Chain A
Amino acid sequence: MPVTRLLYPLYQLGNPQLRIFRPKWFLTMVRPGTELPPDTAQFRVPMEMTKYDIKNYLENIYNVPVGAVRTRIQYGSNKKRNHLNQKVKKPDYKVAYVQLAQGQVFTFPDIFPEKESKPEEGSVEEMQNNFMEDEKQRQKPDPRRGGVTEWFGL
């Protein structure tokens, strides 16, 4: 299929309001790399979306009160080369910083919390853990010497 230019339905004075039902766009919420103000959330959005699109999307689909949206396009590098010495392009993407209205605050949650997993009784892992702990205990110097090494005889 030949490459055709994609033209949005152009708006002229008197046209009906442009509405999009069931958009084909999907937003991805990401953890911000640097510290952001507490009312700001960071999204990766498709390149074709505008600030007004993002605002309407979040307000109508997710009922999120949006104060302000700022976007930027992140250039994906074209520097890496593969085993055939060809340049490999990382795709570009658009990042949107959305400030929430009505004094709402958002922090990105911890998706991968540290789990304290205890191995069950009588299993192989528990015996291995105990063995390792005994070995480590054996390597430590005599506590009665009070931190003085064996080099100092007596």
Chain B
Amino acid sequence: MAARTRLPLLFPKNLPPFRHRKLVHTEVAVKEPQYPPIVPSRTAKSKSALLRQVQEHVQKICASPVEEKLSLITRIQRKKFMVYPQTFARNADRWYQHFTKTAYIPGLPEKFTQAPLKTTGVDQSPPAAARTTTALEIDDDAFRDIRSLVTRVILQEHWHINQRKTFLFREQEMVVGPFLRNLVTELTHSLSRFNPLLRLCSLDINPQVNFYWRRGQRIIPKGHRKGRQEPIRFQIDDKPNSQIRITQQLPQFTPMEASYAAEVPEITLAPNLMPMFRRQYDNNIFTGAKLPDPACYGHTQFHLVPDQYQRDRMARRQQSDQVEVFLRANALASLFAWTGAQAMYQGFWTFEDVTRPFASQAVITDGHFFSFFCYQLNTVALSVETDANNPRKNLLWGTESLRLYDNVQDGEVVGLNDDVIKLLVSFLMNQP
């Protein structure tokens, strides 16, 4: 208002600016007030509150050290399916492939087929022109030593020992078990000259391997939680005959991207139709040694075929096709459990997927026939939330059963197969 303002008599035309200091912002423009982020409540009885609780739990697990992570993941006990690697169910390998998101590739990876077991100086079969021959790191004399070692072990178990008649259905455990154990220990010792990893390795006899994971969802049919979604939990408790654990990780067999194209069989039926049974007990994740052990990466496992699954018994019941199925299912479950446990020991779990693939090998035998398997774990993220956009799949390579020797006669091993020995050697010589 003109009347209210007190202007000086000489009203300057150009008023100097910034006359009143109070009207001037001398300090920097005040920042916008920082409000805390708007998140749903934690304790309300709503779906968003539940989601927030789950998220916070996941973040808490991600932020904790490895031991706490393991204990937080395996803390709560609930009913879960027990996955037996040596199962009597038919067509178990398809079911197990679905549970572990594994694709099966017949034959071995290129590492073992490109170097077709050639030692320097040994002449192999004629079609060598087709194969690229890279020599094994052991020389001829060493191979002959190994061959004699194998014959010695076979003869010790089957010829020299004066064995009484074995108990019913315990032949594998009493005869083939010690044979495999001796073979593994002696081979590891003699090959430690060539493979520096084996000098620092840890050879376990009758170890325990456990793994716990969740995959898929089901609707609870009865009870006070009827109608709600529940994740399906699995646990593998495996007891291989022997295993070799090393301090460094084995290199990958193929890059992870190569697994995107692989096919995993999809089974929409519930696991109890397999048949598989549910029980509630301790959730364990164990590679064979506790967490602080330096030999935390796996190299090779050796498994024994139980008496129920001997070839002649299956042939008598006209179920010879199930023999290969059984071996594949066994290798799949055991190796998945082992590599999964190794990954968990490094801190990877469902919500923190593996950054590098974990590789391991297995040999399954029943004394005469040997089958070789290689497994590469590309993903641990198998639960419903993390599996939705996960193109990675785990891979299992496997051979058919190969005969090691025909039989033992008069203190001589008849028909010893060199290829199998070479495959065994190349398996044990696998190093980064």
- Seen from chain A, the residues whose Cβ lies within 8 Å of a Cβ on chain B are 35-37, 39-40, 65, 67-68, 70, 99, 101-103
Contact = CB atoms under 8 A, between A and B. Distances in A.
A99 B89 CA distance: 10
A68 B90 CA distance: 8
Contacts of A101: 90, 318-319
A58 to B, nearest CB: 13
Contacts of A37: 269, 273-274
24 contacts: A35-B268, A35-B269, A36-B269, A36-B273, A37-B269, A37-B273, A37-B274, A39-B90, A39-B91, A40-B273, A65-B318, A67-B90, A67-B319, A67-B322, A68-B88, A68-B89, A68-B90, A70-B275, A99-B90, A101-B90, A101-B318, A101-B319, A102-B321, A103-B321
Majority secondary structure of chain A interface residues (helix, strand, loop or mixed)? loop
Interface string B287-331: 000000000000000000000000000000011011000000000
A70 B273 CA distance: 11
A53 to B, nearest CB: 16
Interface of B: 88-91, 268-269, 273-275, 318-319, 321-322
A52 to B, nearest CB: 11
A37 B274 CA distance: 8
Given A37-B269, A37-B273, A101-B90, 6 more contacts: A36-B269, A36-B273, A39-B91, A67-B319, A68-B90, A101-B319
A141 to B, nearest CB: 40
Contacts of A99: 90
Nearest to B95: A37
Contacts of B274: 37
A68 B88 CA distance: 9
B113 to A, nearest CB: 28
Contacts of B88: 68
B325 to A, nearest CB: 11
Contacts of A36: 269, 273
